[in-house]
Structure 1
Amino acid sequence: MRATDTTFWNSDWYPETVVECHVWWAAPLTDPHAYLPALDTTERARHDAYQREEDRARFGTARLLAKLLLGREAGLPPAEVELDATCRECGRPHGRPVPVGLPATRPPALSLSHSGDRVVVAVARTVQGALSAEVTVGVDVERLPPEHALGLPPTLDGVLAASLDEEERRIVGELPEADRCAGFLTYWTRKEAVLKATGEGLTAPMRRLRVSRPGDRPRLLRREDVPDGPRRIRMAELRPGPGYTAALAVLLPEDAADGWRVDLRIVERSAERVLAYAAQRPMATLVG
């Protein structure tokens, strides 16, 4: 997949800070023995709690891929890469996964998402410039329901009211019927990506966020409870393939928010070779 550069260059402009984000796409693994050895006790419990086999496969594949990518950089096998997903609101292990115990002074930021036959892992870090803290990242992918061409299914009515404000609902309602479901999910993925980047997830009301409309460049326009939120968020639209929509958000530390010279560089890649390589070797030998 080709790289996506979110800035416009000219001869007299150079970024003070460059944030690089690698976005890895994969299909869920069908054999649980391929990913179970990489999961710790807490992750195994979460995996086993899923009722459907496809949900367990998506969860396990995302965790394995994240640990393979981080372990390759740190020189550790996947099973020795620890991801702390403690929710800051309730203490349960369903929050944003944070790498812990890695040799790097500032480990990269990490975000995972999965839907249908798409698994995505985003890894972000500052590669140029000095910031007081590392960035954080959020990614979300959603599959369009099979009946999306018929308009918004009735099952989404309550979700629509809870996640979009009045203006956003009006915009979705004015779209051609065949585009309304995709329009709603564009809003949803953009908002969830932002809330993942901030570490809040779905504990924060989505209606308090205003993002750009479908078809426009992804941006956070307003956040009622955090007036300076838009200054610190950089966003991008991803390419998950037909039948899906996806978005990415990066939260900058406070000392970078006032400077507009922040270049977010995104590279989307297929992770199929990474997972295929891992499947052919014992887990403990997958180092570096």
Structure 2
Amino acid sequence: MTRPPFPPVADVVEVYPLDVWAADVEKALTVLDEAERLRFTRYRDRWKAHEFAATRAFLRRLLADRAGGNPRDVPLDSICKRCGRHYGPPWLVPPADSVAITVTHSNGWALVALGPPAAPIGIDLEHPEHHRLAARLHRTDALEDRRAHDWVRGEALMKSGATASHPADGPLRVHDLQLPKPMAAGVAALAAPAHLAYRVHPVLGMTDPD
């Protein structure tokens, strides 16, 4: 398989929103590799399978656009480094690992963030539909909003891989993201090294290759 050279991301984290509902899953599947297609078939929840295929194809296209190659040739892997199964988060296989990757999705929306190589970055997203339980429990909107923000901040930090036992090389900062329409009602956070800027792009819906 051809491994295109991936230009490193500069000192900025690029955040790309995706409208998963707009994705054509059949076209998305043509971009995925054999392990990803097998993972797709193993989802019991049909919607979760759709979400996985659309988001992974979108990530492949973003990386291929950076390298000027074909999305099918992007050397992505998602093997869990603890158990060896294909269910972990995506990462670029060395020596093409010049871009840090973090991904999140929630109820028809997704965010893909690309950062400098080896940067400990993490992203998380909460769709407003997920806040209905708190409303049924008679919590106030303000309390629920604070709970949602606290949740995504914690998840973003966890996904960055920085913990008390494995701290980042430098200080991390957690950013509350302002999402573009039609995702503006969502709650999202990005954890990244403090010296890095970030940029949120407009919502995209294309997952098929050129």
**TM-score, structure 2 as length reference:** 0.79
Q: Deviations over 1:4-46 (max 9, x none)?
A: xxxxxxxxxxxxxx72111001111443212001111211122
Equivalent residue of 1:263, what SS? Answer: coil
Matched, 1:73 2:66: yes
| AA partner of residue 141 (structure 2) | A
User: Which structure 2 residue ranges, 5 or more long, are not aligned?
Assistant: 1-9
Q: Tell me which of 141, 144, 155 is aligned to 2:125.
A: 141
Structure 1 runs, 4 residues or longer, greater than 6 Å off: none
Question: Which residue of structure 2 aligns with residue 129 of structure 1?
Answer: none
Letter in 1 for 2:204: E
2:13 counterpart (21, 44, 51): 21
1:147, distance to aligned residue in structure 2 (A): 5.9
- Change over 3 Å in CA distance of 1:230–1:136 after alignment to 2: closer
1:235 aligns with 2:174: yes
Q: Percent identity?
A: 24
Q: Contact 2:131/2:144 (CA < 8 Å) preserved in 1? A: no
Q: Which residue of 2 aligns with 1:206?
A: none
Q: Which residue does the alignment assign to 1:258?
A: none
Is residue 134 of structure 2 the alignment partner of residue 195 of structure 1? no
What is the count of residue pairs matched by the alignment?
197
Matched, 1:111 2:102: yes
* Aligned-residue offset at 1:244: 1.7
1:46 corresponds to which of 39, 64, 70: 39
1:181 maps to which of 144, 147, 167: 144
Give the CA deviation at 1:263: 2.8
Distance across 1 between alignment mates of 2:204 and 2:128 = 23
Instruction: State the TM-score, normalizing by the size of structure 1.
Output: 0.60
Change (3 A) 1:96 1:243: same
Indicate yes or no: 2:209 matched with 1:265.
no
Q: CA deviation at 1:270?
A: 2.3
Pair 39,92 (structure 1): closer, same or farther in 2 beyond 3 Å: same
SS of 1:151's partner is: helix
CA distance in 1, matches of 2:173, 2:60: 25
Matched, 1:37 2:21: no
Partner of 1:249: 191
Q: CA RMSD in A?
A: 2.9
Q: Distance in 1 between matches of 2:176 and 2:79?
A: 28
Give 1 or 2: higher helix fraction: 1
